[in-house]
Amino acid sequence: MSAVANPGFSSLLSGRPLRFIAGGALIINGMFPALWILFTSLKTEAELTAKPITWIPHAPTLSNYMQAFSDQPLHLFLFNSFMVALLSTCLTLLVSVLAAYALARLNLRYRGLILSLIIAVSTFPLVTLLVPLFEIMRTLNLLNTWIALVLPYTVLSLPVCTLMLVSFFEGIPRDLENAAMIDGCTRMGALFKVVVPLCAPGVFTAGILAFVNAWDEFLLALSFNSNPSLRTLPVGIQLYQGEFAFPWPVISAALVVGIVPVAVLIVIFQERVVSGLTAGGIKG
């Protein structure tokens, strides 16, 4: 008990076998649902309805994936989700870079007030605006367009991204910008040629958060787009359910296809995502 290397509760579990169990529990908790869906997507209908149920598929098949693409325009759902997420991410980044620069660098009189407002907006329940947004999009003839989703998704991520970028920008020494301006850059030139490249990791993290937010959103996508060819993945995935039948292997295959893009993003950039999430979470 005299070891001090493992603080707090950790030392209760510092033995190797216990650490192994702890790691196993974490991994099962995090991965099992996704893994289960993967297993289901590889099973045949016959295996699925066999009792007792099997865990690991006996005769893995890819036919559910074929069917997922042929029963519904899954490629269109993917494309719509991707485009809506990409467009809103770009717009979020552009708008939040500009706003964050103003908040980080210009000596604004109402800086504290603006920051409080941004934090208040970050907690805003977008659900409550379903009716007015629906009316606005209807009046502007934007229902059944990507824009009807891109604009609200941008606002959804704007507060967190702005707050994150403010803290990143504050970490860049002013001298670097001043040097660029002596070399003939305008202030905006210095922002985009010096500050943004130096903050690239931060900007990138903000971008991933915005992308995941948009990729995940369901309620507005469900409400504003009734045209089947404009549906995003979360909305499209429901269409596999027949009136009485639930083709679970096909639904699972479609889910796996929908999970893979974001999972790849997360696997590659996991450290940045964690740092961004916690910075955004703690600061706002």
Partner 1 sequence: MSTTSTLNAASSADRGPPAWTRWLDLGDRALAVVLLAPAAILLALIIVYPVLRLGYTSFFSLSLTSGLPAEFVGLENYSLMLEDPVFWETTWNTVLITLITVPGALLVGLALALLANLPFGVQWPVRLSLLIPWALPLSFAGLIFAWFFHSEYGVVNDVLNRLGFEGIIWFNSPNWAFAAICLTIIWKTSSFMALIILAGLQTIPRSLYEAADVDGAGRVRQFFEITLPLLKPSIVVALIFRTITALQTFDIPYMMTGGGPGTSTATLAMYIHQNTVSFLDLGYGSALAVVMFALSMCVTAVYLRAIRTKE
CB of 62 to partner 1, least distance (A): 19
Q: Return the residue of 42, 203, 212, 250 that touches partner 1, per CB under 8 A.
A: 212
Q: Which residue stretch of 13-21, 58-66, 71-79, 196-204 sits at the interface with partner 1 (rule: CB under 8 A)?
A: 13-21
Other beta carbons within 10 Å of 260: 13
Angle, CA 127 vertex, CA 123 and CA 131 arms, to 5°: 135
- Min dist. Cβ of residue 197 to partner 1 (A): 18
Q: Near partner 1 by CB under 8 A, which window of 10-18, 61-69, 70-78, 194-202? A: 10-18
CB of 237 to partner 1, least distance (A): 7
Binding mask 83-122 for partner 1 (x = CB under 8 A): -----------xxx-xx-xx---xxx-----x-x--xxx-
Residue 264 interacts with partner 1 (CB under 8 A): yes or no: no
Q: Where does this chain touch partner 1 (CB under 8 A) — which range of 36-44, 57-65, 71-79, 197-205?
A: 36-44
Task: Give whichever of 70 and 143 is closer to partner 1, judged by the CB atom.
Answer: 143
Choose one: 66-74, 165-173, 199-207, 271-279; the region binding partner 1 (CB under 8 A). Answer: 271-279
Q: Are 64 and 253 in contact (CB under 8 A)?
A: yes
Which residues, 47 to 86, sit near partner 1 by CB under 8 A?
A: 48-49, 51-53, 55
Site for partner 1 in 124-183 (CB under 8 A): 124-136, 151-152, 154-155, 158, 162, 178, 181-183
Residue whose CB is less far from partner 1, 75 or 187: 187
